[in-house]
Structure 1
Amino acid sequence: MKIKVVIFDADKTLWDHYNISEFEEPIKIINRDEIEDIKGRKLKVFPEVRSTLEELKRNNLILGMATWNYPEKTERMLGILNLRRYFDVIVSRDFPFKFIMISEIINELKNRGISVKPENIMFIDDRRVHFGNVWLYLGKVKCVEMWKDISCHSQILKLLELNS
């Protein structure tokens, strides 16, 4: 079945930091892809993230985010990094249950009149541990482990058979 929705984890999937909820204001912008908080914690967006997100949007895919972070921190970081505009639905929670977050994304899309089945979804996360409950509770979501199943973001386009 055709993938219509691509859902990303954030930490260690889109950028190199493991927990953006730790970041404290003020945030200093080092460059378009790198920031630093007042305590010297740095975050760098992985190579190819922007071009991959742009290509996914160009191909009319719906982009979601399911991340274990405080919602206000997620929104703040996405805004500072100018990545917010790529995501149609963002679910950021202070708990690790990705299957619940993906359910929320499916429900939000349904509220917008977009019907999506689990087999229409690709979920990309750096931790395979989340996939079991996704499959158990949601069904045949295509789960991809970042850095194991694929080694760079442009490979997402190849998995979806999109030209990059």
Structure 2
Amino acid sequence: MIKLVIFDADKTVWDHYNISEFEAPLKLVDENVLQDSLGRTLKLFPNVRKTLEKLKERGVKIGMATWNFPEKTKAVLETLGLDKYFDVVISRDFPFKFIMISEIIKRLREQGMSVKPEEILFVDDRRAHFGNVWLYLGNINCLEMWKDVNDHMELISKL
């Protein structure tokens, strides 16, 4: 049984490839679209909000492991009103997802939740990250967004 779902951000949760280049202030264009001060836009993929709500309803913990500057990730999540869904967000300026996932597991343990690798689902748009996740963290379930699933709501059926 999956107790923790961890999402990548760029090209997994939203359509932009690198929010670290966004410049403040950020403004909401509509519920699922934001724009930075230079006019760059970011749009949530369909059903992201609905999927996060369903996960929460089921009591599943939600994490984010993203290769972005932490202050940029925080600003985007807050502007979109998504920060309330995530129990732990680890945003680092390096690509090593297995380290970020380890940090998420550690933070949850500090909050009193123990989770085994097979109880974790990691969703990323790049399969390249999965090898080190399995090598260093064990039998974590990994799904490649847009290959293994084509809509965020499909993730619910994978639980």
TM-score, normalized by the shorter chain, greater than 0.5: yes
> More deviation in 53-62 or 28-37?
28-37
> What is the DSSP-based 3-state SS (H/G/I as helix, E as strand, rest coil) of the residue aligned with 2:112?
coil
Counterpart in 1 of 2:55? 56
Which aligned runs of 4 or more in structure 1 are off by greater than 2 angstroms? Answer: none
**Rounded Cα–Cα distance in structure 1 between residues aligned with 2:129 and 2:109:** 23
**Rounded Cα–Cα distance in structure 2 between residues aligned with 1:63 and 1:25:** 26
Give 5+ residue unaligned stretches, structure 2.
none
Counterpart in 2 of 1:148? 147
Q: Does 1:111 align with 2:110?
A: yes
Measured on the aligned residues, the alpha-carbon RMSD in Å equals: 0.6
Q: Does 1:128 align with 2:127?
A: yes
**Rounded Cα–Cα distance in structure 1 between residues aligned with 2:107 and 2:28:** 32
**Rounded Cα–Cα distance in structure 1 between residues aligned with 2:20 and 2:151:** 24
Counterpart in 1 of 2:95? 96
**Rounded Cα–Cα distance in structure 2 between residues aligned with 1:71 and 1:38:** 18
Q: TM-score, normalised by structure 1?
A: 0.95
> More deviation in 25-34 or 134-143?
25-34
Q: Contact (CA 8 Å) 2:27, 2:79: kept in 1 or not?
A: no
Counterpart in 2 of 1:23? 22
Counterpart in 2 of 1:82? 81
**Rounded Cα–Cα distance in structure 2 between residues aligned with 1:29 and 1:128:** 31
Amino acid at match of 1:95: F
Q: CA deviation at 1:39?
A: 1.5
> What is the DSSP-based 3-state SS (H/G/I as helix, E as strand, rest coil) of the residue aligned with 2:63?
strand
Q: CA deviation at 1:28?
A: 2.4
**Rounded Cα–Cα distance in structure 2 between residues aligned with 1:68 and 1:130:** 11
Q: TM-score, normalised by structure 2?
A: 0.98
> What is the DSSP-based 3-state SS (H/G/I as helix, E as strand, rest coil) of the residue aligned with 2:121?
strand
Q: CA deviation at 1:113?
A: 1.1
Q: Percent of aligned positions with the same letter in both sequences?
A: 62
Q: How many correspondences in the alignment?
A: 159
Give 5+ residue unaligned stretches, structure 1.
none
Q: Contact (CA 8 Å) 2:67, 2:94: kept in 1 or not?
A: yes
**Rounded Cα–Cα distance in structure 2 between residues aligned with 1:38 and 1:92:** 22
**Rounded Cα–Cα distance in structure 1 between residues aligned with 2:6 and 2:80:** 18
